[in-house]
Amino acid sequence: MAEKVRGVVARGKAAPVSVETVVVPDPGPGEATVRVQACGVCHTDLHYRDGAINDDFPFLLGHEAAGVVDAVGDGVTEVAPGDYVVLNWRAVCGQCRACRRGRPQYCFATHNAVQSMTLEDGTRLSPALGIGAFLEKTLVAAGQCTKVDPAARPEVAGLLGCGVMAGLGRRSTPAGCSVTTPWR
């Protein structure tokens, strides 16, 4: 059964964000729901809010997160309820030419959840980088979940999903990221 949770939504270009009720559906085939324990504040979220990524408002912000898998849909074998995970903005297909050649970083067909999270009135939300983790629970493609050691603190582990992935190998320090645990 779908669950109502609180989440941070950007309704329009450069408009203030708001905390709103978000409806998260049960996971369908190939999907998972994750209870978010911590989510970093990345500059990319500001780009979404300012309309610099695209104009698919309203956006459900947040993508640099760690949490615990709550439920999985049919066919999901890589994670199970109770697994501690980092959320990734790229869930590789495993089937395209790049993946078959052992170069998943060049995947041609990354996955996101098929179902949409919505506002209470049914308005479809666009989750930032296919994740939308500034909320209590999110719906993602199961391939966006990477199991990590449960001893890792969520406010540190979440940084692996974006700050480390995007910043690794840069000559200069990546844009500063902050970490928040808004639901505690």
Pairing of strands 59-60, 64-72: unpaired
Comparing 98 with 42, which gets the higher pLDDT?
98
Q: Residues in the chain, how many?
A: 184
Left, alpha or beta for 129 (phi > 0: left; psi -120 to 50: alpha)?
left
* Rounded average pLDDT over 24-28: 98
pLDDT at residue 21, rounded to an integer: 98
**137 has which bridge partners?**
35
The dihedral built from the CA positions of residue 13, 17, 175 and 86, taken in this order, carries a sign that is: negative
- Render pLDDT for 156-173 as a digit per residue (tens, 0 to 9): 888 887 766 666 544 333
Average per-residue pLDDT in the chain?
A: 87
Measure CA of the first residue to CA of the last residue in the chain; give whole Å: 24
- How far apart CA 81 and CA 72 sit, in angstroms, is 7
